[in-house]
DNA sequence: GGTTGTCAATGGTTGGACCACTGGACCTCT
DNA sequence: AGAGGTCCAGTGGTCCAACCATTGACAACC
């Protein structure tokens, strides 16, 4: 099907120029021990020194500014905002290596709280959504599937019911990584029914306005999920990019 | 010192063009109900239709790509990755309105877990850092300060000790917002000593390898902090940007 | 039928031009 | 000397036109 799997012939990763620029700026911040508030060299100078056009510099800057690492003042210059983890967006962190165990721990932290809040603030429409998600999962499983969609919908409904947009955003940020673990877990023989049971217990707590019960059920559920996927996890560190000009 | 605090005279927010472009693209995604995987119109066309240069389009795209909302294939086009909350980065959410209660709930979710993990994984150097932070806070308080630096250092040391970079990144994302609540809380009369006490209890749990104790102490501490600042919190919804061309 | 060449569409990068804003130097008037 | 205004160099913001690199589909060829 595919060509020979020779290591030397794997596709070489080209990166966009502005990404390299951002990388260099991070390096610059680290190496010069810049303090927050310090001004960067002007764009034209950076362009000259890095040997790229001002446009590329400005693309990198736009990204860094959107991520809150720098502040740009028209006519004034560009200033450092936070030096910690400069240029390392969460999205980038999750992409570079699959830190599944870490992701699952973070998931537990967030979802347990989401369940607690949901058990306090849920409205009628939230319960309707949760029940619908449960039925969807049942239908999927009966149809021979593993129920990932219904599962995702259920957890999403809880997030919505928490009425906390910040927490929702945080869990969303992890959504992609969680999705993978979900597939792996639900592919386990006998898992979907167990998961369904766990969901019902969680819903009981939320519906009954019992945060304690909801929290306990959610924590138990997530630990079970994590257990399974963790057993199969093999860390693979040979996953760095090669764009390190 | 400063000018009159008249609402009408607050600095008006000029927005950069590429930010408006990103906003419009979000709107486009929402209004056309784009599904993940769908291709966007070509850059040149977007530039023409929005009446801006291709450069501005490309700056917006760079940001959206870094945030994981779109995927760009050289020679192939730009494709939607996630449609939920398109263009709404966490950073943007935290900036637009100060959602302090939400932030504090998220903080509790994360920090309680961080404490639990720290109480399992802490090493000698972590304990040294925590003790140093505590001493620093004491010194600050004795010198008439309120101890925010030492406080921040203490919580940061716990985060490091958790050995979970994902959680660390998430809490870092909230750091700025938390900082404000910290100042407010520690400015309360009699707060710094109480806070110091709470920190000692947390450290006891972590040092004694007792996750349960650490969790309980951390949760209690954060609820106390949240209580104080929540009482003074007045939601201010009239805080939207004005760039809605 | 499969291989190869061609080409239009589309993203990636550049250089230069010009505009807008900031802050300090400098000048003027009192 | 002080207050106020003017000017200007430095710096970010935007645009444009051109050219390069990659992709994918279609045509031509063997």
Hey, how many other C-beta atoms are within 10 angstroms of the C-beta on B237? Answer: 6
C1' (C21) to CA (A198) span, angstroms: 60
Tell me, what's the pLDDT at A232?
56
Confidence tier at B4 by pLDDT (50, 70, 90): very low
| Contact predicate B164/B180, CB 8 Å | no
The Cα–Cα gap between A62 and B25 comes to 16
CA Rg value for chain A: 23
Pick the residue from chain A with its C-alpha nearest to B215: A109
Q: What is the pLDDT of residue B245?
A: 33
DSSP letters, B166-215, are HHHHHHHHHHHHHHHHHHHHHTSTTHHHHHHHHHHHHHHHHHTT-HHHHH
Of the candidates B18, B166, B174, the beta carbon closest to that of A62 is on: B18
Query: For the ranges A208-217, A226-235, B223-232, which has the lowest average pLDDT?
Result: A226-235
Mutation pick from B36, B53, B88, B169 vs chain A, by most beta carbons of A within 10 Å, is B169
Min Cα separation B80/chain A (Å): 14
**The predicted structure's pLDDT at residue A235:** 55
Q: What is the mean pLDDT of residues A42-59?
A: 98
Contact A68 B59 (CB under 8 A): no
What would the pLDDT profile of B210-222 be if each residue is shown by its tens digit? 999 999 999 999 9
DSSP state of A11: P
Q: Residues of chain A with pLDDT > 90: what percent?
A: 68
Q: Which residue is nearest to nucleotide D10 (CA to C1')?
A: A75
Percent of chain A with pLDDT over 70: 88
Residues of B near A (Cβ–Cβ under 8 Å) read 14, 16, 18, 55, 58-60, 62-63, 66-68, 82, 84-85, 88-94, 99, 102-103, 105-106, 108-110, 112-114, 117, 164-167, 169-170, 172-176
Task: Give the residue-averaged pLDDT of A178-191.
Answer: 85
B51: tokens are 């009446």
Name, of A94-98, B52-56, B236-240, the range with top average pLDDT.
B52-56
The more confidently predicted of residues A221 and B9 is A221
Kind and range of the H or E run holding A167: helix A165-186
Q: What tokens does B159 get? A: 């985060």
What is the pTM (predicted TM-score) of this model?
Answer: 0.85
A37, A79 contact by CB (below 8 A)? yes
Is residue B236 over pLDDT 90? no
B232 to chain A nearest CA, in Å? Answer: 19
**B147-206: per-residue pLDDT in tens?**
899 999 999 999 999 999 999 999 999 998 899 888 888 888 888 888 999 999 999 999
Kindly report which amino acid residue has its CA closest to the C1' atom of nucleotide D9: A75
Rama region for B74: left / alpha / beta (φ>0; ψ in -120 to 50; rest) = beta
Average pLDDT over every residue of A225-229: 76
Return the pLDDT at B233: 53
Confidence band of B238 (pLDDT split at 50, 70, 90): very low
User: In chain B, what's the furthest Cα-to-Cα distance?
Assistant: 65
Please give the DSSP secondary-structure letter assigned to residue B38: P
Q: List C-alpha distances in Å: A36 to A39, A42, B146.
A: 9, 17, 22
Tell me the mean pLDDT in the region A155-171: 96
Rounded alpha-carbon distances, angstroms, from residue B239 to A9, A100, B7, B12? 54, 38, 11, 11
Confidence band for A171, pLDDT divided at 50, 70 and 90:
very high
| HSE toward the beta carbon, residue A7, CA cutoff 13 A | 2
**Residue A64: pLDDT above 80?**
yes
Which of B56, B62, B72, B101 is most worth mutating to test chain A (most A CB atoms within 10 A of its CB)? B62
Closest partner residue to B170 among A74, A106, A112, by Cβ?
A106
- Nearest CA to A12 among A241, A229, A172, A205? A241
The model's pLDDT over A193-206, given as tens digits with 9 standing for 90+, comes to 889 999 999 999 99
The shortest C-alpha distance from B176 to chain A (Å) reads 10
> Would you say B143 and B152 are in contact if contact means Cβ atoms under 8 Å apart?
no
When pLDDT is averaged across residues B123-138 and rounded to a whole number, the result is 96
Strongest mean pLDDT among A135-144, B53-62, B190-199: B53-62
In this predicted structure, the answer to whether residue A11 has a pLDDT above a threshold of 90 is no
In chain B, beta strands by DSSP E: 70-73, 77-80
Burial of B14 (0-12, 13-18, 19+ CB in 10 A): exposed
Query: Residue B68 carries which DSSP code?
Result: T
> Please, are residues A125 and A61 in contact by the beta-carbon 8 Å criterion?
no
Q: Is the pLDDT of residue B239 over 50?
A: no
Task: Pick the more confident residue, A80 or B231.
Answer: A80
User: Best of A26, A62, A230 to disrupt the B interface by mutation (most B CBs within 10 Å)?
Assistant: A62
Neighbouring-strand partners of residue B78: B72
Q: Per-residue pLDDT averaged across A39-62, rounded?
A: 98
């Amino acid at each position: 099907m595919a060509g020979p799997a020779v290591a030397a012939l794997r596709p070489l990763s080209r990166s966009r120029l502005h990404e390299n620029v951002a990388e260099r700026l991070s390096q610059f911040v680290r190496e010069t021990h810049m303090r927050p508030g310090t001004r960067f060299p002007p764009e034209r100078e950076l362009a000259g020194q890095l040997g790229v056009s001002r446009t590329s510099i400005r693309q990198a800057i736009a990204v860094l500014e959107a991520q809150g690492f720098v502040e740009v003042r028209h006519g004034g210059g560009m200033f450092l905002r936070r030096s910690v983890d400069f240029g390392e967006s969460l999205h980038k962190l999750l992409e570079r290596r699959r830190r599944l165990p870490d992701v699952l721990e973070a998931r537990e932290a967030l979802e347990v709280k989401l369940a607690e809040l949901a058990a306090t603030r849920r409205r009628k429409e939230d319960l309707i959504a949760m029940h619908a998600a449960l039925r969807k999962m049942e239908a999927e499983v009966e149809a021979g599937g593993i129920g990932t969609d219904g599962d995702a919908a259920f957890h999403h409904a809880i997030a919505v019911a928490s009425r906390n947009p910040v927490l929702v955003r945080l869990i969303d940020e992890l959504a992609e990584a969680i999705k993978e673990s979900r597939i792996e877990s639900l592919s386990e023989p006998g898992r979907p029914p167990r998961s369904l049971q766990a969901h019902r217990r969680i819903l009981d707590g939320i519906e009954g306005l019992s945060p304690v019960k909801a929290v306990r059920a959610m924590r138990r559920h997530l630990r079970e999920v994590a257990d399974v996927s963790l057993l199969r996890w093999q860390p693979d560190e040979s996953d760095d990019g090669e764009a390190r000009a």
